[in-house]
Amino acid sequence: MTMIETFAYEFMQRALVAGVVAAVLCGVIGIYVILNRIVFIGGGIAHTAFGGIGLGYLLGMDPLLFAVLFSVAAALGIGAISDRSKVSEDTAIGVFWAAGMSLGIVFVSFSRGYAPDLFDYLFGNILAVSWGDVLLISALTLAMLILVALFYKDLLILSFDAGYGEAVGLPTKELRLLLLCMVALSIVVLIKIVGIILVIALLTIPGAIGRQHARSIKRIMALSIFLGGAFVLVGLVVSYQLNIPSGATIILAAAATFFASTILAR
């Protein structure tokens, strides 16, 4: 079956559009995640989002909407606790990580009936993305791009020299919280595509590869966007041909490229 025939189906077209939009988001936000070394914070936020998904099931409403609330709350909570208390950042991440997953399990157990697509939120199912999901993903991505455009220079200073930013009067603590919230919203976008378990990989791998082969931030972002789109395309085609999970295939394509790139970069 040719690539054109593969994308003749509407569900494949929806998946491709959602994947490309997500690739744009990963290319822009992912580099800030890498530069600020907040990959594990992203993991904590992603797993905390499962509490919102469980609450959505319990209330019979869209789980992604509650995932947004839980993700933003986790971002603000981790940032505030690690900033204003004697609790270390990794401890705060671990607490939110465990509490979010536990709340999700409890909420799902209280909900009536069986949650058929719960597995999709954990491991992703880009083929089940609806046009409504595509609109939500596109709206969140547009919001993130606007924020990056507005605070581009400030985020660069925060990423490379937060001490200098604080010395010249930049509100570094508020900017860090803003960045964490942006990461939280980005994670919600990716949950539907690759799931909670794999979300950090797609958010960071394209940026990590881009950083190996480009110098300026804008070039790294452009290369990351291209790579993210290529991973989505390859993952969709291979998973469809072999009848294997799409999200995992996308991540495997990204990971294989990362290892090859690392060898070449050396």
Q: What span, in angstroms and rounded, lies between the C-alpha atoms of 161 and 83?
A: 17
Over residues 236-259, mean pLDDT: 91
pTM for the whole thing? 0.86
Class at the top of the CATH hierarchy for domain 3-265 = mainly alpha
**What residues contact 58, with CB distance under 8 A and at least 6 apart?**
107, 108, 110, 111
Spans of all domains in the chain: 3-265
pLDDT digits (tens, 9 = 90+) for 28-46: 999 999 988 888 888 889 9
pLDDT digits (tens, 9 = 90+) for 59-113: 888 888 899 899 999 999 988 887 776 777 788 888 999 999 999 999 988 877 6
Q: What span, in angstroms and rounded, lies between the C-alpha atoms of 129 and 205?
A: 23
